[in-house]
Amino acid sequence: MASQARGLQNFISDLRNAKSKEEETKRVDKELANIRKQFTPKGGKVAEDGSNPALSSYQRKKYVWKLVYIHVLGYDVDFGHAEVMVLVRSNKYSEKHVGYTALSLLLRGDDPMVNTVLSTIRKDLTTPSTSEKKNSAPPDAGQSLALCSIANIIGLELIQALHSEVQQTLVAKSSTPNVKKKAALCLLRLVRTSPKVVAGREFAPQVAQLLQDRHLGVLTSAMSLLYGLASQIPDDYESLIPYVVHILGMLVLKKACAREYLYYRTPSPWLQIKLLKFLQLYPTSLVQTPKNGNGKETAADNAAHITQLTSIVSKILTETDVSDSINKSNADHAVLFEAVNLIVTWGSSGPDHLRDGAMKLLGKFISVREPNIRYLGLLTMAKLAQLEGSAESIKKHQATVLVSLKDADISVRRRALDLLFVMCDTDNAERIVDELVAHLVLADAAIREEMVLKIAILAEKYATDLRWYVDTILKLISISGDHVSDAIWHRVVQIVTNHPQGDLQAYTAATLLVAASPRRCHETAVRVAAYVLGEFGFLIAERPGMSGEEQFRILHQHWATSEYQTRAILTSTYAKLANLYEECRPLVAPVFARCKNSVDVEIQQRAAEYASMREAFSPEAVEDLLREMPPFEDNKQSALEQRLRDKEGDDSAAVVKAARPSAAQRERAAQSKAAARAVEEVQAQAKADDVGPIEDDPVSPMSDGSPGTNRPKDRTQKVGIPREVIPAMRKAFSNLCTSPSGVLFENAVLQVGVKQEYVGAQGRISVFFGNLSKKPLFHFRAIVEDVEHLKVQKQGTQGLLDEDENGGCTVAVRTQAKLLLLVEVTAPFDDAPAMRVVFETEEGELHEYPLRLPVVATCFMEPVTLEPAAFMQRWKSLEGQDRECQEVVKAPANAPTIDEEYMTRISRIVTEGLKFGRCQGCDPTPWTVSGAATFRTGAKDMNGNNINVGCLVRVEANPQAGAFRVTTRTLHPLCSKAVKNVALVSIKLSSSP
């Protein structure tokens, strides 16, 4: 160990003894002044290069080292470059060494000073021996220094000037191993900054040459270079796979490794890892013959490599063990995890036993106490989870992962969160999301934002019932509102707006109104509530305690404590409320009046414009301005996914997962697409029978899925509804919508019959399940799903209503099970309740039929007789917006022509099927049928009266075109839609031969 210059030692000592930062700074400043003085020659005789020629070699080295030290301590050093250059140019190694060290630390690539030493660097790089031979110094000392400093101070000019020299040095026969190592990494550094300096295909054979070097240090560096190059353009280096497999085989299978490269008895783990990382760039290497330029590789060679690689990975997997030495254990597990990563990249093309083995190991790792291994287990399992078919085995570990979610170490918690996110699917979404929400309460600030974002994405992705999604986001707001970004609540608005099906909009409006009711609630909740009530508040305005006026009062209590952005949203909502409800106007007007003087320009402008709108524009224009927003464009990528990507980078397992649409999302997308398509098809007067809108209609006879239930999916293969009975079923369902009894479903095994009668808001529906097969049916169950808009009382044959799948009743041959439903409607709706019929045959075959009960809105209609004038007045008042629904249906080609007799049938559909009162006076020609009815609900308003919805319908025929136009106008959009749907299916049914 060579001794240090005394002056430098003293200086370091002084700084160490400094009692405070100030004292240290003072000492540094003093030293800087001294060095500056030393570098300025007395009498001003500066050498050509700006240095002081009077300095001795010892002094120059000492002062430059001091500068370096000062720089290392974090102080700015902006002089002395000339002296550094003198040292770099020196012929003495000791001076060169200091010079290059200082150069690397003090200069950056874009420093103009670099150019002045360029020729020196080049000379050192290309001249293998220094002039100083007497000390038996390594002949490559100068080369090494030059390479090292190029790697350290990279700049564009330096790359331009030197890359070819570096490349030549790397492959030169005369280069020592030491120079090769440094040249390889130096070239890697150049390639990272400018990928084009190396031409891959021509360079690959030269890398192959390097890979045959016996020196493991050279191999280690060469592999870093190769990995860097190949990650830029993998194809160019695919031909090198055999070399890499060969080296790996030597290390792993033969343990052939020089002693000094054994690290705690493991053959160079660093090299093994680099080799495995390189192989990960070729996910198909196990199934594909590598493209090889020279064609020497035969299929047999390739097969041999695949076998060898498989046995290498297999050996790593099975022979890694925990050892007493933590260093050995770490080194071995480092290699093991890299091998598992390789198995993950192979995916399903890799051998099953390796994948299973990896899964088993990871399952063990995520439950060990050792935190590093557990962390890596969680991390790697999340990668494995992306593979097809791995979901089930990973889900088994859910409980274990949840334990890590509560770990004291945030690094572990993050990984656990990530893995839960990745393993989440439709089956376990509710459980995982609930767990995460529960944990959010306890989670510290560092991880909350990440959790909130992930929960929001999961809830959206896997909601089989979007109401659950809305509830979840509300919970997030109430637990951790500060971390719910605008992007998250904007997404709620988007989704609710884009899903008019079902009662999502009304549900959201009602839920948010309740959420905003307390005096103290998070501002984000106020924002969503304000926006949603502005859009969909009218849907709930008839519910007790939710009138427009009450909506206003609940929102307005937050006004004083809200920020300007929130007030801006509130202002728009007030305008909409005032437009809809007379009684709100006097409440809103003073708010607007005050806001005209608001310091916030946006609010000032909104208030002024809304306040004067009524005078300035026609009522239609005002209506137009305050209309609900149109559906949002369905972006492929939600803003939330973008956020996740920004945070975690493109490669993270979570990002990949988030980008892949879930089954629930696909279904929702398909539904809206189908709805759009159905409208188009009808407009294009498509064939009525085959693919009419009924297929995608919410009143379809088949239940589309399973809102809000978790049923076990995986047990055995289930027999569903055979395709061929679907058209008949659809017809039977349509028929039952307007008739008191009939068959809902029939196949060779089972017949389901329905009898129904309705009085006002109440109905009594009997369902009969007849066994048509020759053997009894076991575990027979009928599951009627609860829906919000119906209060249902159920009675049935013993066991029929069991929830447990081992329960159920037995239906003997030629007998029936019976189900009696007493329903009361409480709110408008436009779909039909789902009923699943599940049973097992004697052979153990599991049948499951998702059906829908024909309990539709029109069942609860009560005919109303209206004078023509009254009808027209109401008709006009309900025009426009979503209170109106219209659709055209064309009769099939073989349908009877539309004549007066046909119109009587239509009239019967309206009066008997839809239960509307015919309004004769409104139909001057035989080609229209108008009717009125009241939709009765059992819900009470504040005065204790039942809430009812007035409904009007009009069917207009165009005999020439053979088409009908159905228009419905009601006080409630869902009613309009429901009546229209039933009318359409009935007309279609009547026209089919």
Partner 1 sequence: MIRFFLLQNRQGKTRLSKWYVPPQSRGTHSVEAEKTRIEAEVHRFVTARDKKYTNFIEYNNYKLIYRRYAGLFFTIAVDVNDNELSYLETIHLFVELLDSYFSNVCELDIVFNFNKVYSILDEFMMAGEIEETSKREILDRVKDMEKME
Q: Which residues are annotated as a binding site?
A: 6-7, 58, 62-66
Say which residue the tokens 């970004």 belong to.
485
Q: How many CA atoms lie within 13 A of 419 on its CB side?
A: 33
3-class DSSP state of 374: helix
Please compute, for residue 671, the number of CA atoms within 13 A of its CA located in the half-sphere on the CB side.
19
Q: Compare residues 262 and 514 and give the one whose CB is closer to partner 1.
A: 262
At closest approach, how far in Å is the CB of 137 from partner 1? 4
Subset of residues 35 to 74 that bind partner 1, contact rule: CB under 8 A? 65, 68-69, 72-74
- Candidates 188, 343, 432, 694; binder of partner 1 (CB under 8 A) is 188
The binder of partner 1 chosen from 86, 88, 170, 185 (CB under 8 A) = 185
114 or 817: CB nearest partner 1: 114
559 binds partner 1 (CB under 8 A): no
Cα distances from 219 to residues 125, 208, 370, 371, 992, in angstroms, run: 21, 11, 33, 32, 79
Min CB(436)–partner 1 separation in Å: 19
What's 302-319 look like in SS3?
HHHHHHHHHHHHHHHHHH
Count the helices and strands in the chain (H runs, E runs): 38, 18
Of residues 6 and 196, the one with the C-beta less far from partner 1: 6
Query: Do 484 and 476 contact (CB within 8 A), yes or no?
Result: yes
* Contact call for residues 671 and 519 (beta carbons, < 8 A): no
Identify which range of 128-136, 360-368, 670-678, 821-829 contacts partner 1 by CB under 8 A. 128-136
Contact call for residues 846 and 781 (beta carbons, < 8 A): no
Question: Using CB atoms within 10 A of its CB, is residue 651 exposed (0-12), middle (13-18) or buried (19+)?
Answer: exposed
Cβ-based neighbour number of residue 544 at 10 Å: 14
Residue from 51, 268, 571, 976 touching partner 1 (CB under 8 A): that is: 268
Contact 499, 466 (CB under 8 A): yes
The residue (of 85 and 412) whose beta carbon lies closer to partner 1 is 412
Question: Footprint of partner 1 on residues 136-175 (CB under 8 A)?
Answer: 136-138, 141, 148, 151
CA–centroid distance for 940 within its chain: 42
User: Can you read off the two tokens belonging to residue 690?
Assistant: 């085959």
> Is residue 79 a contact residue for partner 1 (CB under 8 A)?
no
Nearest to partner 1 of 185, 952 (CB atom):
185
Please identify which residue in 7, 128, 217, 770 interacts with partner 1, judged by CB under 8 A: 217
112 near partner 1, judged by CB under 8 A: no
Shortest distance, CB of residue 26 to partner 1, whole angstroms?
17
Minimum separation from the CB atom of position 271 to partner 1 (A): 7
What single DSSP character describes residue 324?
S
Minimum gap (Å) between residue 407 Cβ and partner 1: 9
Residues numbered 669 to 728 that lie near partner 1 (CB under 8 A) are: none
Closest contact distance (angstroms) between CB of 518 and partner 1 is 37
Residue choice 17, 411, 716, 992 for contact with partner 1 (CB under 8 A): 411
Q: How far apart are CA 87 and CA 97, in angstroms?
A: 8
Alpha carbon distance 145, 96 (integer Å): 8
Determine the interface stretch with partner 1 among 115-123, 260-268, 918-926, 959-967 (rule: CB under 8 A): 260-268
Residues 331-370 that bind partner 1 (CB under 8 A): 331, 333-334, 337-338
Q: For residue 571, state whether it binds partner 1 (rule: CB under 8 A).
A: no
Angle between helices 504-516 and 548-556 (to 10 degrees): 40
Please name the amino acid found at residue 877.
S
Q: Which backbone phi and psi does 443 adopt, to 5 degrees? A: -65, 145
Which residue lies nearer to partner 1 by CB, 101 or 167?
101
What distance in Å separates the CA atoms of residue 613 and residue 621, rounded to the nearest whole number?
9
Residues between 369 and 388 with contacts to partner 1, criterion CB under 8 A? 371-372, 374-376
Question: Can residue 1 be called a binding residue for partner 1 (CB under 8 A)?
Answer: yes
Piece in contact with partner 1 (CB under 8 A), picked from 237-245, 265-273, 284-292, 610-618: 265-273
Cα 535 to its chain centre, rounded Å, is: 27
Tell me if 258 contacts partner 1 by CB under 8 A.
Answer: yes
Stretch that binds partner 1, among 218-226, 516-524, 744-752, 978-986 (CB under 8 A): 218-226
Q: Which of 178, 478, 565, 751 binds partner 1 (CB under 8 A)?
A: 178
Q: 779-838: which residues touch partner 1 (CB under 8 A)? A: none
Binders of partner 1 in range 276-295 (CB under 8 A): 277
Q: What are phi and psi of 964, to 5 degrees?
A: -125, 145
Q: Which of 35, 159, 186, 546 binds partner 1 (CB under 8 A)?
A: 186
Question: 3-state DSSP call for residue 498?
Answer: helix
Query: Rounded distance, CA 297 to CA 420, Å?
Result: 44
- What is the C-alpha to C-alpha distance for residues 639 and 514, in angstroms, rounded to an integer? 27
- Decide: helix, strand or coil at residue 920: helix
Residue with Cβ nearer partner 1 (144 or 703): 144
Among 682, 652, 939, smallest CA distance to 789 is for 939
Q: Which of residues 6-35 bind partner 1 (CB under 8 A)?
A: 9, 12-13, 16
Contact between 94 and partner 1 (CB under 8 A)? yes
Residues between 639 and 658 with contacts to partner 1, criterion CB under 8 A: 648-649, 651-652
- Could you tell me which stretch among 39-47, 178-186, 509-517, 754-762 binds partner 1 (CB under 8 A)? 178-186
Name the residue among 135, 119, 116 with its Cα closest to residue 127: 119
In the list 41, 82, 111, 263, the residue contacting partner 1 (rule: CB under 8 A) is: 263
Q: Which is nearer to partner 1, 61 or 883 (CB)?
A: 61
Beta carbon of residue 149, minimum distance to partner 1 (angstroms, whole number): 10
Task: State the nearest-atom distance from the C-beta of 371 to partner 1, in Å.
Answer: 4
Token duo for residue 989? 């049914």
Across the beta sheet with 718-719, the strand order is: 718-719, 846-852, 834-840, 777-784, 809-811
| Site mask for partner 1 (CB under 8 A), range 315-334, x = bound | ------------x--xx-xx
- Tokens 């564009």, located at residue: 156
* CB nearer to partner 1: pick between 16 and 713: 16
Q: Which residues contact 92 (CB under 8 A, 6 or more apart)?
A: 57, 132
Give, rounded to a whole angstrom, the gap between the first and last alpha carbons of the chain. Answer: 105
Q: Which is nearer to partner 1, 372 or 709 (CB)?
A: 372
The residue behind tokens 């009975």 is 725
Kindly tell me which residue out of 67, 87, 216, 525 binds partner 1, with binding defined by CB under 8 A: 216
The Cα-based distances of 724 to 27, 581, 721, 747, 990 in angstroms read 93, 51, 9, 10, 22
- Measured from the CB of residue 16, what is the shortest distance to partner 1 in angstroms? 6
**Choices 411-419, 475-483, 574-582, 960-968 (CB under 8 A): range interacting with partner 1:** 411-419
Q: How far is the CB of 189 from partner 1 (least distance, A)?
A: 4
User: How many residues sit in the footprint of partner 1 (CB under 8 A)?
Assistant: 71
